[in-house]
Every structure is written in structure tokens, then in C-alpha cells.
Structure 1
Amino acid sequence: MKRYWLLRLVIAFGFAQAAVSMARPAVSYRALSLGADERAIGVIAGVYALLPLFAAVPLGRRTDRGRCAPLLFAGVVLIAGGCALSGTAGSLAGMAAWSGVMGLGHLCFVIGAQSLVARRSAPDEQDRDFGHFTIGASLGQLVGPVAAGLLIGGDTGRSSALALVVSAAVAAVALTALWRVEVRDAHTGPARAERDRVPVHRILRTRGVPAGIFISLAVLSATDILTAYLPVVGEHRSIPPATIGLLLGLRAAATIACRLVMTPMIRLLGRTALLTVTCLLAGLLCAGIALPVPVWALAVMLAALGFCLGAGQPLSMTTVVRAAPDGARSTALALRLTGNRLGQVAAPASAGLVAGLAGTAAPFVLLGALLLAAATLGVRVGRGPAGGPGRTGAAGTGARAGADEAGAPSGAGEPWDACGGARRRA
């Protein structure tokens, strides 16, 4: 019974992510029907990623001091509103503005949801719970584009507007799963607000936080560029679009499969080895996509790549939560999301530049190098200071009551607070 909160959160995230994944291609088609060129499409897509950057840290600060549920509800409302209003917008400026609202809503929901998982999961359950939580995102990313493709037809102006209105309704369904997903807690009231704020530079200097942010950025960049450039590779190798769609679906399904078996893999290999090995293999597989292999071999590589990429995001969340100073877990997760958004802007631009200079296979080699760097950081995170994972050893970084090597919370018997730290007894 007590695990139902996580199931409801996964369901809500699945609907919210499906709405966003459905709306983003529909926004592009809608903008094209309004006369947008490639540059305008890029600006609209950039507003989605850039606008929330300014709100990430304040939202994280607010969640560190209070409850998570208000952000979840606000996120769903903003996503639904941004989708619906994008479908009725009559100008490119309006499309860009409502795309930014949609992006802000997605950011609100993810910060609130990740903070809630950190709140309600004991240290030895965090990897598993973050893995299950991200299944919702994978399901949404799998279903959303397919649904958009089914709705958008010949008259792209009208059909894309319909797809956006439908995506708003899909987002609204997420509200039904958020009932009592968070238990009210007296410790999240004014007493928490009285804590001193941890400066952002101090969070970023805490051992493990920069590594977690970079690993997350690398894995997300690989997923985004793979989705954007595999159709280009297919065009050059005469692979039909339907086959490319199946290959991308295979990649997404393999990612879900990885997250379903996260717990036994961690028990078998350990989280540091799992993070390092999956990033290393993903880097090699990304570089292998650049080779002129037959379709069946490409399918095998993409399935293996999807499985490897499935581990990076949930493990990077746990890395950041365990490393962050007390009272700043949600802010650290917000900084991780900020890194993700910067990667979503910078990685496609860099990939486009590299592809223009060295060919369509070059971005995959670039991704391989990025993931190999992430694997190196994974090894360094595993060599953390003495005292077990999640502790900060440097003076002034705020040593925390974290998990010991066996995953048990220090201060046995103390309940676990919103950010993974032991609550003070009254």
C-alpha cells in the first residue's frame, strides 16, 4: 500500500511527458503552417528549453523549504495551458511564448516529482525508485510522438492544432493520479524555511554534484541527438522512415527494460560499476552507429544503446541527491535539470556544426566521446571520500548524514525528510 504513491507519480509523469512529447512536434508543424522557416522553428524550440533556466534554481529553493505537491499541480496546469494555447495561437510570437510556458510547466513538474522521490525514499531505495520514476518519462516519450503522428495529417495547420488540444487533455489526466501523492509533514513548514540557504557555488563545488550533472547532460544529449539525427542517417543509407521509427521505438523500449531491472543490476555490479560500464558501452555504441552497418546490426546496437542509456538518468539523480549538502537537495536537482536544458540547447547546435563540417556520422562520434568522459567521471564519483557514498569530505561543503556502504541511513531509526536527510528529533 505504501508504494502506491510512487505508482501514482509514475502514471502522472507518463501522462505529463506524453503530452509534452506529443505537443513538441505538433508545435513545429503548427509553426510551419503559420509561415515559420527553419530559423524560426529553432527559436521556438529554444524558448522551450531556455525560458525555464531562469526559474530552475528559485523553484528548487522553494521546494527545499516547503512541499512538493504544489509544484506538481502547477506543472500540469502550465503544460496543459501551454499546449492548448499553442493550438489556438495565431502568430509565431504567440507560439514561442506558449512553448516557453509548456517548458516551464514541465520543469515545475519534474523538480517537484524528483524532490518527492527523494523525500519518500530511504537511501537504499533511491536508485530503484528513481529508476521506476523515470519509466514514466520513457513511456511518455514512446507514446507521445506516435500519437502526434497519427493525429497530424495532410492539413497540418488544422491537424496540428487538434493534436495540441488533445495533448492538453492528456496532460490534464495527470491530475487524477496526483491525489494524496504527498503526505503533509509538519517538518516541511516554517522550521524548514528558517534554514540558511546554501549558496549555488557551494552546491556546485560539492564533490559528486558536478559529475552527476555532467553525466545526466551527456546521457540526455545522446538521446536527443539520436532522435534528431537517426532520420538523417536513414536518409543517407536509404533506410525507410517507417524503419527508422521502429528503430527509435526499439531504443525507447530497451530503456524501459533497463529501468525495470535496475535493482538486480545494482546488486550484481554495484551502482558505481553500473554507471561507469553503461556510459562506457553507450559511448562505444554511439560511435559504432557511424559505421555503415546493415539494418539488423543497427537494430542490435540501438537496443543495446537504449538499455545502457536507461541507467544514466536515475543513477545521476541519486548521485546528486546523495552528494548535495543538507537543505539543498531540491536545489541541486534543479541545477541538474538546468544542465540538462543547457545540453538540449548546446548539443544539437554542436552536432549540427560537426555534421556540416564532417558529415552526418560525425555527431555520433562526438556523442561517443561525451559518454566516455561521463564514464570517467562515474569512476571518480565511486572513489568518493572515506565514509561512504553521498558524504562530502571537503571542509566547508557541509557533511551530511548520508547512506553508509550498506545503504543504511546514519542515525538509525530517524525518519527520512524531504531531501534524504535525517530529521531532527523534537
Structure 2
Amino acid sequence: MRPGGNRGWLLRLVIAFGFAQGAVSMARPAVSYRALALGADERAIGVIAGVYALLPLFAAVPLGRRTDHGRCAPLLPVGVVLISGGCALSGVAGSLWTMALWSGVMGLGHLCFVIGSQSLVARQSAPHEQDRNFGHFTIGAALGQLVGPIAAGALIGGEDMAGSSALALIVAGATAAVAFTSLWRIEDRRTVSPSRPDKGDRVPVRGILRTRGVPAGIFISLAVLSATDILTAYLPVVGEHRGIAPSVIGILLSLRAAATIACRLVLTPLLRLLGRTLLLTVTCLLAALLCAGIALPVPVWALGLLLVALGFCLGVGQPLSMTTVVQAAPDDARSTALALRLTGNRLGQVAAPAAAGLIAGVAGVAAPFVMLGVLLLLSSGVAVRSRREPEEEPEEPGEPEPKREADGEVRGGRRGFRCRVPLRRKSDI
């Protein structure tokens, strides 16, 4: 299949991702409410939220290595099974430690699905289509984040908080299983690398991390996902302290997701207007200010406006960081680079909720949002710095300009070297 050709696979992938992400987005606040009903405090909520990312932290790179020179599609049903099982078993768990365990299984399933699907988008998209296709792909995630919290808020409530949150988790497991219906013929086997290289031929992880653009993409993605994750896990806790009903919290989280969808629908014209680097810088800076604003004791309508604006700003980071990493990484290590990006995400999902739990226990439940503001402020600085890095090292005075032949051969230079390098189109940069 020619990359960038038939995009029916992309629509099916978006649908499947919508159901899988919807289940996770429904389960995450339900886990928090069920843990509160079982006697958890803010620190315990942070630990359970962190365990969600702990198992995937060690599995991301091996899965990426496997996907670089193999099929992507088999990871998708495996991910759906783990998500569905983790949600349902969290609903019947009777203790906090078993809830944490099944939360980790749910996180591992989400990782499998995301690595397989992101690698599929990178492999089956032409370079000039990657920003758009990753933007469309992440609409599936935003749709799930829109519907999931509303469904959780509708099911959770009343005097039996433990029972209603358990029901929400079982429904989330059934929702994830619906993703199976869209996974047929989603990968063309002609795009699969025909051979698996020896370990000595693989691009080392350290080499990928040293590639210009990869660390910046990883850090921006980490900051944006940490903000989304802590919003999902801690807004119910904020609601409990401010007397906001779970149904209202579900609507607020869905407003944030709806704004993210709106952002990704207009992502292409925004890129034409500002460019990738400036767009990332501005949105991360605005998101930092908006996160800090959530810590203020504002009324519900103002909190809703803050979350809408924040959702729009956070909608930029994920798809553009994917494209940044994919286009910076070596061609035969793209899945590994995406896995490293996901490892950074999971590291943030382990460290940020744990830190948020400690901060909330000392300074109150609004303090984690100030921490997120600082993290997003740093990410905007990373985006600015990556923009200022030179595209090439300057030539020394008097050094002759190397000649590039039509077949990609470079001749000349200071030592008269001669080597073959692939020609790069402007759209590849």
C-alpha cells in the first residue's frame, strides 16, 4: 500500500481508539471515586493513579522494538483485552491494593493499543500527511475523553458510592470490548518490514535520544499528558472538597475533551498560520497559566471556561509531539522512538500523580494544578529552545560547498570524503 493512499484504515482506527479511550476515561474517575469510597485519602489516590503507568513504563521500549520490524495490528486486540479486563476487575476489587493492580493492567493494555496504533499511523502515512493524520487519530482519544467522563458521572452518585463506581467500571470494560468491531483489515502487510535485524544492527536507544527533536518531543508530550492525567484523577477530588456533584465533574471533564476535539479539527489551518514550533510554544504557555487558574476557588461556570480553554491548548501537544518524534527519528527506529515517547509519558504518569498526592496532602487538593502549570511552563521553554537550535552546523571559513549528486551522493568537503546519504525532501524535515 502506498503511504497516504486509502484512509479507510484511519477511520476504523479512530473509531476503535474512541471506544478504547472512552473506556479508560470512564474508568479513571470511577477508580478514584471507588477508592475514596473504600477509604483512600489523597496520597492513596496518587499512588493508584501512578500504578496505572508503572507496568507500561518497563514494557514500552521492548514493544516498540518488536513493532519496528514486525506487524503493528496484533498489539491492538491485545490492548483491548487488557483494558477491558482491567476495568471490569477493578470494579469487583475489594481492596485498594487489588484496585491498584488492575489499574496497572488497564494501563498496560492502553500502552499496547497506543504503540500499535501510533506505529500504524506513522508507517501508513506519507511524511506531509503525518501532522494531519496524527491529529485525526487523536480525535479518537478526545472523543473517548468526551463521552467517558459523562458516562461515569451519570452512573456514579447517590449514597452507594462504592456500588455505583463499581458498576461504572464494569460498563467501561464492556465499552472497551466494542473496539474489536473496528479492527478488521486495518493493516496492509506490504508496509511491514520483511526482515528482523540482529541486535547489533538496531539503532541504540541512546542514539535515538540524542537525535535533535526527539527529547523536546518527549518532554512536551510528558507535560501535556501529565496535565490531562492529573485533571482526570484529581478533578473529582477537587469536586468533593468544593461540593461539586460527580455528574457536574463529568460534564466539566467532557467540556475539556470537546475543546480538544475542536482544536484538532482546526489543527491544519493553525499549523499553516503559526508553524509547529510556535504553536507548541504558545499553547503550552497558555496551558500553564490556565492550570494555575484551576487552583483558585472560582465558581463552577468559571471553572468550566478555564477547562474549555485548557482543553483547546492541550489538544495541540500530543499530535504534534508524535510528528516531531517520528520525523526526527531514524526510519528503522520510528516505533522505538514513539515507544520512548510513551515511556516518557508513563514516567510522567508515575511521577506526576505521586508528586501530586504528596503536594495535595501537604498543601491542599488545588496545589497539584500549580505543579502542572510549572511543568507546562518548562515545556514551552523547551519548545522555544528547540526552535533556536541551528538546523545544521556552520561550515568553517573557506571550506568548499559539498556537491550533492542526483542519486544522493555527496562529494567534496574538507577531507574530500565521499559517501552516500538519502536525499531529503522539504516535507521530510
- Check whether TM > 0.5: yes
1:345 alignment counterpart: 350
1:275 maps onto 2:280 in alignment:
yes
Q: Within 2, Cα distance between the matches of 1:361 and 1:194?
A: 47
Structure 1 residue 294: Cα displacement: 5.2
Equivalent in 316, 323, 326 of residue 328 of structure 2: 323
Unaligned ranges ≥5, structure 2: 394-419
- Contact 1:208 1:323 (C-alpha < 8 Å) held by counterparts: yes
The verdict on how the C-alpha distance between 1:403 and 1:23 changes in structure 2, with shifts beyond 3 A counting, is farther
Deviations along 1:329-376, one digit per CA (max 9) or x if unpaired, are: 111111111111111122223234344555555433332222121112
Query: How do 1:16-165 residues align onto structure 2 when only pairs under 5 Å count?
Result: 16-28=20-32, 35=38, 37-38=40-41, 42-89=46-93, 93-152=97-156, 154-165=159-170
Shift of residue 45, structure 1, vs aligned partner: 3.4
Q: Summarize the Cα distance change of 1:246–1:152 in structure 2 as closer, same or farther, 3 Å threshold.
A: closer
CA RMSD of aligned residues (A): 3.0
Partner of residue 367, structure 1: 372
Q: What is the Cα deviation at residue 16 of structure 1?
A: 0.6
In 1, Cα distance between the equivalents of 2:360 and 2:392? 46
Q: 365-374 or 92-101, which moves further after superposition?
A: 92-101
Q: Tell me by how many angstroms 1:265 deviates.
A: 0.8
Pairs aligned (count): 397
Correspondent of 2:222 among 217, 222, 225: 217
Q: Is the 8 A contact 1:326 1:400 kept in 2?
A: no
- Give per-residue Cα distances to partners, 1:60-86, cap 9 Å, x unaligned: 000011110001121112222223333
* Rg comparison, structure with higher value: 2
- Relative to 1, partners in 2 of residues 1:149 and 1:363: Cα closer, same or farther, differing over 3 Å? closer
Contact 1:123 1:403 in 2 (8 A): no
Using the size of structure 1 for normalisation, the TM-score is: 0.83
Name the counterpart of 1:418.
none
Partner of 1:307: 312
Residue number in structure 2 paired with 1:7? 11
Task: Give the equivalent residue in structure 1 for 2:203.
Answer: 198
Aligned 8 A contact 1:325 1:400 in 2: no
Distance 1:103 1:228, change over 3 A: closer
CA shift, 1:58, in A, is 0.3
CA-to-aligned-CA distance 1:369-426 (integer Å, 9 cap, x gap): 22121112112333454369xxxxxxxxxx9858644x2x49xxxxxxxxxxxxxxxx
- Percent identity among equivalent residues? 76
**Which of 4-13 and 336-345 deviates more?**
336-345
* In structure 2, C-alpha distance between the alignment counterparts of 1:348 and 1:175, rounded to whole Å: 31
> Following the alignment from structure 1 to structure 2, what is the Cα–Cα distance between the partners of residues 294 and 6?
40
Q: Please tell me the residue identity of whatever aligns with 1:322.
A: Q
Give distance in 1, aligned partners of 2:219 and 2:25. Answer: 24
1:64–1:330: 8 Å Cα contact kept in structure 2?
yes
Decide whether the 8 Å contact of 1:213 with 1:339 is kept in 2.
yes
Cα deviations across residues 212-235 of structure 1 (Å, max 9, x unaligned)? 111011111222333444455566
List alignment gaps of at least 5 residues for structure 1.
Answer: 389-398, 411-426
What is the deviation of 1:6? Answer: 0.9
Aligned partners of 2:97 and 2:192: how far apart in 1? Answer: 44
Structure 2: distance between partners of 1:373 and 1:42: 22
Deviations along 1:295-335, one digit per CA (max 9) or x if unpaired, are 54443333222111110111111111111123111111111
